[in-house]
Amino acid sequence: MAEASPICRGKNLTFETVLSFVNAMPLVPMKKAEFHRITESKLKGWTQTHSQIARQLALYQEKDGMCIPRFTRKVSCSEILRYVENWAKLYFVPNIYTPSLNGSGNRATNIYAFLKNEVKLGESSYSKACTQMFGIELNNTDKIRVYLNNFTDLIINDDAMSVNQHLSDCSMPEVYPKIAIESAEDYFNYFSIDLPCGIEDSPIMETYLQQIFYGAPGTGKSHTIKEVTRNEDVIRTTFHPDTDYSSFVGAYKPTTIEETVMTVIGTKAVPVEDVDGNERKESKIIYEFVAQSFLQAYIAAWKKYAGTENREPEKQFLVIEEINRGNCAQIFGDLFQLLDRNCDGFSEYPIKADADMKKQLQKAFKGLDIPQKHSINAMYEDRDVVKEVLDGDLLLLPNNLYVWATMNTSDQSLFPIDSAFKRRWDWTYIPISNANKGWTINIGDSHYDWWQFVERINDLIGRTTNSEDKKLGYFFCKAKDGVISAETFVGKVIFYLWNDVFKDYDYCDQVFNDADGNKLTFDKFYTAEGNNSKVVEEKVKLFLKNLGLEASVQQENMDEDLDSKIIIKVNGKDVTKANAIPYTAIEEYVKLHPEMSAQEVVDIWKPFKKCSMRSWIVCNKEERDEMDQRYANYSYEIKCADGNSLWVNKDGWIHHPENKNLRDTVSEFIEAVNGADLGITITETTI
């Protein structure tokens, strides 16, 4: 039986994981409750699992009721990557976050150094080396495998270990470091690293030239790019396993042309005529160089420089969808060098174009003049690089060419992106968030809130898989007129959950229990009628019920008085209706904090939406204006000291303490508020 755990629960330690942590955490020390509240609002599951692994990564420490972050200024992706590479080489066990190992008499052991030394001594079995490290079989060795593969020169494929001889850094720390770490502060300081000046000290460009938008499926990555690049010139492509350099850059391809049929009479070639005296034509296949998405965007970007002597050239965007579904090393080839940009946004290291590409570029740039050629040449020690670019000799990315990409973190067939490639990009995490569309899942006459389902199922996915990668975004499933039908829900959502998420976990949660005590297998969601099979709505309702969802309650019933035997007070103020409890609590909070703006109050109370059946609990004016009026009108307005208003949702509040089998959102709200130390106390008394 496996024992101990060298690293706590959480997502696999990929660069994207660490980046999402850093993006979510505040940059200043603050009280623990506030630090966790802010981070949880940006990264769901933080308070359950992610904060544990972030402390083990020494990305922050807790001291005297305060949370102190590692990074107290904006940092670049390369700085984060450098930090985690350093952490991966220094991480040791047992430590203060591995209490199950501390009492076994084991001395501090550097995992990376120990395993690398085992390879040096001839041991290639990863499992044997891990067992030898402590004399027991360890849990979570898959997490170790992932971070070693990502951030060190060790390569672990299944159970085989080796060292990547192509990496220049072959240094190795002590296998058994002599350290005395007794507190979280000691541990935090042990992983400190001197970083160069950050991005705040370097010239800041208005928009990142190269960035990857990443996150779970359905979070709106492509939509975000679409909105940002609205009214801009965009060339879009999608990577897949068969994408290669030629299909990304360009290559010779067969094309068909029409030619006149010729014959020779004597020593002269003359056209062949048909019976009507017309010249006969024939189709002929020739090969021409055809520019693909990269070269199209590259040529367009340089052409935008023509006639811009007194103004900035227009932007040209190259958007790569699903960048990690293709083999980036193969697709980019020597273009990889061009991704290193200087402070002015031009390629630091131009590359030589091949003969075929040179001809294409000469043709495309014929007669083109670049007014800024002298200032551009000055970046390269007055080498006439502009002439070389226009002559097709050099490839050099101009500063108006933006290369943006999307990356779905849960794709099944992926190619790994190496660290050197990652350093060339800025990374923008698109979190799972409520789009406030008011979508519902309609199962017969029952209607379920889509966002509430997304939150509940993502919580289950996180608890089961310890990973963000399989979670659902708001737009994972598209609604028609605000409604997701039973057929769409089962065919897309249930199929994904059963086939791609929970299949490897044996459907162990009670959410998958059928009414007869057996498992709710996928086939039970359909009738057994061949081509005429239909969705079994009762099974869908059962699954949603198991997940803790209830069908929507009609709004007209929400203003009813509470049971006369129940007395509820908010800071001593009587409340007689269930849906008045939330807006009364927030209204009392506003009175206690007259110095706070409406938006500050909204930020404090937004996390309490988890207690409601609806997708929102409090919003500002802009958010309310974007809502469907059916939802926006059924709310309570509170004016704040800054002259702005906020609105509290009056829908989604149910109170039935007598029935423990049904969800009680009022009781959830009361418990959450009383435990939040907001100066608001809600009491409930039964007469």
Q: What is the pLDDT of residues 401-454, one digit of tens each?
A: 999 999 887 655 567 777 778 888 888 888 888 777 778 899 987 889 898 899
Comparing C-alpha atoms, which of 512, 513, 514 is closest to residue 503?
512
Q: What percent of the chain is predicted at pLDDT more than 70?
A: 91
Inform me whether the pLDDT recorded for 194 exceeds 90. no
pLDDT at 573: 93
Range with the lowest mean pLDDT among 81-95, 219-233, 427-441, 484-498? 427-441
Supply φ then ψ for residue 208, to 5 degrees. -60, 130
- Give CA–CA dist 616/289, Å, rounded: 55
Averaged pLDDT for residues 664-686: 90
- Directed axis angle between helix 15-24 and helix 77-90, to 10°? 120
For the residues 203-218, what does the mean pLDDT come to?
73
Give the Cα separation of 448 and 652 in Å (integer): 11
Percent of the chain exceeding pLDDT 90 equals 34
* E strand map for 356-434: 394-395, 401-408, 426-429
User: What is the rounded CA–CA span in Å between residue 60 and residue 629?
Assistant: 43
Query: What is d(CA 494, CA 14) in angstroms, rounded to the nearest whole number?
Result: 28
Query: Using CA atoms, how far apart are residues 120 and 104, in angstroms rounded to an integer?
Result: 27
Q: What is the dihedral of CA 408, 412, 417, 423, to 10 degrees?
A: 20
Tokens of 146: 């992932």
**What radius of gyration do the chain's Cα atoms show?**
31
Q: Check pLDDT > 60 for residue 208.
A: yes
Q: What does the pLDDT look like over 158-175, one tens digit per residue? A: 889 998 766 555 568 899
Question: In angstroms, rounded to a whole number, what is the distance separating the alpha carbons of residues 340 and 338?
Answer: 5
Give the contacts of 569 (CB within 8 A, at least 6 positions apart).
575, 682, 683
pLDDT score at 401: 95
pLDDT at residue 75 tops 80? no
Report whether pLDDT(104) > 60.
Answer: no
The confidence score (pLDDT) of residue 518 equals 87
Q: Label residue 56 by pLDDT band (50, 70, 90).
A: very high
Average pLDDT for 500-522: 85
* DSSP count for the chain of H helices, then E strands: 26, 27
Closest by Cα among 554, 576, 557 to 565 = 576
Is beta strand 401-408 parallel, antiparallel or unpaired with respect to 210-215? parallel
Q: What is the pLDDT of residue 557?
A: 42
pLDDT at 49 over 90: no
Contact 63, 190 (CB under 8 A): no
pLDDT at 232 over 80: yes
In this structure, what DSSP letter does residue 138 have? B
Name residue, tokens 């000691």. 186
pLDDT at 151 over 70: yes
Residue 556: per-residue pLDDT = 40
Q: State pTM to two decimals.
A: 0.57
The reported pLDDT for the residue numbered 204 is: 33
In terms of pLDDT, which residue wins out, 599 or 419? 599
Place of tokens 């007469």: 687
Query: Above 90 in pLDDT, residue 57?
Result: yes
Copy the structure tokens of residue 206. Answer: 């208005």
Tell me which of 483 and 311 has the higher pLDDT.
Answer: 483
Tokens coding 659 = 């029935």
Measured at the CA of 68, the angle between CA 11 and CA 59, to 5 degrees, comes to 30
Q: Tell me how many degrees the CA angle 445-448-451 measures, rounded to the nearest 5.
A: 155
**CA-CA distance, 349 to 338, in Å (whole number)?**
6
Q: What is the SS3 assignment for 255?
A: strand
Beta bridge partners of 200: none
Q: 522-559, pLDDT tens digit by residue?
A: 999 999 877 778 999 999 999 999 998 887 644 444 56
Nearest to 304 by CA among 259, 356, 370: 370
CB 360 within 8 A of CB 392: yes
How many of the other CB atoms lie within 10 Å of CB of 101?
20
Query: Residue 552 has what pLDDT?
Result: 66
pLDDT 10s digits, 616-671:
899 998 888 877 666 677 889 999 988 999 999 988 787 877 766 566 888 889 99
Q: How many CA atoms lie within 13 A of 254 on its CB side?
A: 3
